Structures are given as structure tokens and as C-alpha cells.
Structure 1
Amino acid sequence: MAAEGATIFSDVVCELGEGPAYDPATGKLFWFDIVGKKLLEKKFPDGPTIVHDLPVMGSAIATIDAERQLLVAEDGLYVRDIKTGRLTLHTALEADNPLNRSNDARVHPSGSFWIGTMAKDEGSPAGAIYWFSRGEIRRLYDKITVPNSICFSPGGATAYFTGKRPNIIHRVDCDPSTGFPIGEPNVFVDSKDADGWVDGSVVDADGALWNARWGGARVDAYSPAGQLVRSIPVPAQQSSCPAFVGPDASRIAVTSAWKGKDAAARAIDPEAGKTFLLDIEVRGRFEPNVQI
């Protein structure tokens, strides 16, 4: 492999690339351009990038079974027919609030789904984090500004998330059998003095948390104790969210964005919005199917 860094996985440019999720059954990575209302897919490692138009802003996706996916969107959760792309509303979520949209989400090892919402203008703590399982939705946390870093320890006993305080990754104990939190969150990582912002995260098989650093052009790895142990540069300033990919989950893909950049800023960040593969190998793991 090359020196530590990243190479381009898909050169399709997203204004706000987010929500990557890998399906090991098909070998495909799915991700979103939230602002552009697009769902993208590409077979690992070198298939073509296929772009699907969406009628709504989508931000996250999970596998239900071989025929269906669950797509998280600004007004609810949609069942997506993989063969046809047809969307059917399954469960409404903040559908009466056009000022909000969905953002980060991830499947707990139990098959439940944690889903974050936020103000579209990012200017107020108007969002929330929800728990979803088998048609039931419960609000876990309110007054969330930008929900990110939703991910779980391998056994499901710990959840991580951001959005309550700037640049703080919180951790909270969970019931491994349901994914429901137990007790109050506490600080896992306080990175308010570092450049950029914590964005999406995944946890590997050893319990290390890999976080995309928006504005920091890198992916940072933290030990289960919250210590920074590794940083991998990414050739786009606004790296947004990682996902484990490949037949053995040994690689990390990371999305990025050009959102908020004018022409001059984009000229000095020419790879912004593309999707990358980190040039390292890791002990990753696949997410379970979501239970609807």
C-alpha cells in the first residue's frame, strides 16, 4: 500500500457527501449528496458510480434484507426496493417540521437504529436523536445542533454521538439487546481546541473509534479510552463520514463535501466532494440489518 493518506474511490462530486453504508452481500457502498438529493452507489473496489435522484433529502441508509433498504430522509423513514429504487414511506419522522432534516444515523448491533435530526440552517439546537426498532420511534435526546458520530462498540454496550456541545463526542452505556441507552452520557473526546469539527464516526472490531474531521482534512482514530492514536490525511478539507468497506471490512471509505465554499475556496480544495479510500488496512466490521 501507499504511504498513509487516501486515494479517490469515486470522483463524482457531492455538495454534501454523507452517510456511507456498505452492503457486504452485494459489495456495494451507498452514500448521499444530502443537499443535491442524490443517493450514490458503487461496487467495491472499481465499479462505476451510479447516481439516483431522490424526491427528498436523504442522509443515511441501512439494509433490511436482500431486496430492501431503509432510507432515512428529512420527513421520515422509507423502505427502498433495491431492484427498482421505489420508495415507500414506512414511518414519519418530524414530517411536520420543514425547517429540519435528518443527518447522521447508524444501526446498533441489536438491529435498532439511532437517527439524528437537525435544523437545515444549522443555526439552532432544534434537532434530536431518536431510537427506532420494529416500527417504534422514541426520542432519546433533544436540543441537538448537528448530530454526528453516531456509532456503537462491537458488543453494543456503548453508544457514541455528538450534537449536545460543540466538538464533544459523548459516550453512553447501552442495553446490548435493544440499543437503548442506560444512564447519562459523559464526555468521550473533547476536541474543541483542535482544528475543524468532529463529524461522522465508526467503531472497529477492536473498539477504536474512527472520526472524520470536518475542516481538518483527516480521519482521526481514538482508543476505547478516548486517546488519539492515529490520524490519516484526506485530500479534501471537509471530510465528513467513514465506513468500513471490502469483503473483510479491512478498508475505510470516507465521504467529503464542498458545501459552504465559494469558487475561490473550491479552487484550493479541488477534491472536495469526492469519496476516498484510506490507504491503510483495519479490523473493521459490518453493520447488522435494521429491524423494521
Structure 2
Amino acid sequence: MTLKYHNPECVLDVRATLGEGPVWIGSESALYFVDILGKKVHRFVPDTAEHKSWDAPARVGFMLPVEDGKFLAGLADGLHIFDPHTGEFAPHAQIEPEHPGNRLNDGCVDGLGRLWFGTMDDGEENETGSIYRVIHKRDGLEITKHDEGYVVSNGPAVSPNGDVLYVCDSGEQKVYAFDLDKAGNLSNERLFAQFSDGYPDGVVTDSEGNVWCGTWGGGRVSRFRPDGTPLPSIEMPATNVTKIAFGGDDLKTVFVTTARKGLDAETLAKEPQAGSIFAFRTDVAGNPQHAFRLEK
């Protein structure tokens, strides 16, 4: 697969309704991602074009690797364990039963093996979403709520040295930054970026600490330096750009998930591959995908 610098091309014509949550698993040279509304989990091996998918029992917002080779999946009602060898989902922890209209949305694992994820109002109207941290203990999961008041929380992402957490408030077109200490506490919330064209969706950081943000309704990947200074955006052949993952042997291949949700027939005629996976090369490597740590 030969890709050009910042010139995206479709590498998997999957046309997901709401493609999201790409993660690169280096040991498999494979990209995992989800179709939230399609209730699907996908695995794609770029070198061989091998593509496999599994049905999920509900809307699945993210899939993140666990140290034992399985995945933590964020479904509508909470955390599940997904085993790619069997294709089975096992309930693990219920989240927010007091908000039946909420679902889990996006997540990440930091360098210490802690899971960060957000919830959102599935109707995208009420400020019932929150940001959580999850740590595995021998006697179960330690689940801590850290922030609330989101309609649609997105991201989150952690800086390479682990001292900043980025979170999107998508409907408000804002990206926030928090200081993150070694104990997993958040402080000093501040506005990192304000969007005016499109809505910030999934965010990740590269090895230099730059922030890359899928831009829903904006047709681009937006980029910022660690101090919030904008970098040139990368235009995409799809209006709804959701998230990126750095992959390949050198972590300089950028894979981009997109969505067909909300696009009218005229737009879809112009963007027939909306919802597919696009890729391009870049000059700064991403960060390795961390796995959720299991306390021994």
C-alpha cells in the first residue's frame, strides 16, 4: 500500500453509518474500528486487505485493547469485554443506570494503563454526559467520575508524557484541556480550541504532543500544537470526519474513520465513500496504542 503525504485515499470502502474509534494494534498490524449505529466491530489488515467484522449486541462507542489480548468495549449500557477469538461480548460494568437515555461514546487508554471515556445523551439534547476514569483492581474496577455537564462528550486523549487530558464538548464546538497528575486526578480545566466551522469529534496526540481532531461537518482533520496554536488542517473527501489513528510499522500512516450519518442524498452522491476508512502518510509519528492494565 503506497500512500502520499497528507493526500487521503480510501483504503477500505466499508461505508459505515457512523465509523468511529480507530485503534492500531501493532502486534497484529491491524486496525480495529467500530460502526456505532451499525452495531459492528471491524478489523482491517492494510497489508493484505483482510477485513473481518462482528455484530455487537448494542451501539458500541469504542474498542480498546486489554493486556490479556481482549478488548474493553463501550456499549450503550456500560463496559463489556470483547473476545476477538470468539466474537463474544460479556457485560463487565454498568455505567449510569440513572440515565437510560445516555450511552458511552469515545475513550482512550493512557500510558499508565488507565481507561478514560465519556458518556453522552443519545438524543444529543441534555447535558447528562460525563467523563470517567477506570482502573483495574484485583477485586474489580475502580470507576471515577471526573467531570460532567456534556451533551456530547468526545475524545478523550492524553498527551505523550501523560500530564494533559483533552476532551471535546462537541455540540459547543470546544476542546478542553485538563492537567492530569500521576494519581489520575484532573485540575485546571481550560479552553484549548474553539471551532467555528464544524464540530470537534475524536482527538488523539502525536509523539510531539500535537493534537489531531476529526472534524464532524467540516470535512477535515484539524491539528493544533500543544499550546493550542492551529496547524494546517488536512482536507478529507468526506464531510463527517470522526477520528484518526496512527499506524503502520513507523506509526506515520494516518487512518481516518468517517460517517454517512446525517448526509443527504445530494451530498452522498458527491461523497460515495463517506463512512469508509481513508489513509495518508505524515511526517510525525503517533504514539503506540496503550493497553488497559490488569492488576496482578
**TM-score normalised by length of structure 1:** 0.93
Q: 2:33 — aligned with what?
A: 31
8 Å CA contact 1:232, 1:278 repeated in 2: no
The aligned length equals 288
**Distance in 1 separating the partners of 2:292 and 2:114:** 6
Counterpart residue number, 1:166: 172
Q: Which amino acid aligns with 2:143?
A: I
Match of 2:185 in 1: 180
Of the three residues 80, 84, 87, the one matched with 1:85 is 87
Instruction: Describe the SS at the equivalent of 1:128.
Output: strand
Tell me if the contact between 1:169 and 1:189 (Cα under 8 Å) persists in the aligned partners: yes
Contact kept in structure 2, 1:219 and 1:232, CA below 8 Å: yes
Which runs of structure 2 are paired with 1:191-206 in the superposition (5 Å)? 191=195, 193=196, 195-206=197-208
Mapped partners of 1:165, 1:214: distance in 2 = 10
Q: Aligned-pair RMSD on alpha carbons?
A: 1.6
SS at match of 2:268: helix
Alignment partner, residue 280 of structure 2:
278
Given candidates 138, 144, 148, the residue that maps to 2:150 is 144
1:106 partner letter? C
The letter of the residue matching 1:162 is C
- Matched-pair contact (CA < 8 Å) for 2:57–2:89: no
- The one-letter code sitting in structure 1 at the alignment partner of 2:243 is C
CA contact (8 A) 1:220 1:232 kept: yes
C-alpha deviation, 1:96, in angstroms: 5.0
User: How is 1:118-137 mapped onto 2 (pairs within 5 angstroms)?
Assistant: 118-134=120-136, 135-137=141-143
Unaligned runs of 5+ in 1: none
Change (3 A) 1:279 1:250: closer
Output the CA distance in 1 between the equivalents of 2:215 and 2:171: 16
Could you tell me which runs of 5 or more consecutive residues in structure 2 were left unpaired when the two chains were aligned: none
Matched residue type, 2:185: F
Q: What residue identity is the alignment partner of 1:151?
A: A
Aligned to 1:99: 101
Matched-pair contact (CA < 8 Å) for 1:251–1:282: no
User: Which residue of structure 1 lines up, in the alignment, with residue 161 of structure 2?
Assistant: 155
CA change 1:52–1:95 in 2 (3 A) is farther
1:43-96 Cα shifts (integer Å, max 9, x gaps): 134422212111111111111125311111111111112211211111111245
In the superposition, relative to structure 1, how do residues 273 and 164 fare at CA in structure 2: closer, same or farther (>3 Å)?
Answer: closer
Q: Residue 114 of structure 2 aligns to which amino acid in structure 1?
A: S
Give the Cα separation in 2 of the matches to 1:265 and 1:230: 25
SS in 2 for 1:25: helix
**Kindly tell me: are residues 44 and 180 of structure 1, through their superposed partners in 2, closer, same or farther at Cα, counting changes over 3 Å?**
farther
Give, in whole Å, the separation in 2 of the partners of 1:164 and 1:17: 16
Quickly say closer, same or farther: Cα 1:265–1:165, change in 2 above 3 A.
closer
Task: Within 5 Å, give how 1:9-88 maps onto structure 2.
Answer: 9-88=11-90
For the residues of structure 2 that align with 1:278 and 1:59, how far apart are their CA atoms? 24
Instruction: Give CA deviations for 1:12-44 in whole Å, capped at 9, x if unaligned.
Output: 111110111111111111111101100011013
Q: Once the two structures are aligned, what percentage of the paired residues are identical?
A: 31
Q: Distance in 1 between matches of 2:51 and 2:283?
A: 23
Query: Which 4+ runs in 1 deviate beyond 6 A?
Result: none
Please report how far the alpha carbon of residue 222 of structure 1 lies from its aligned counterpart in structure 2 after TM superposition.
0.6
The equivalent residue for 1:217 is 219
Amino acid at match of 1:128: S
Distance 1:21 1:261 in 2: 25
Which range moved further: 155-164 or 108-117?
Answer: 155-164
Q: Distance in 1 between matches of 2:203 and 2:287?
A: 13
- Cα distance change on mapping 1:208 and 1:97 into 2, 3 Å: same
Counterparts in 2 of 1:3 and 1:251: CA distance versus 1, 3 Å: closer
Contact 1:12 1:49 in 2 (8 A): no
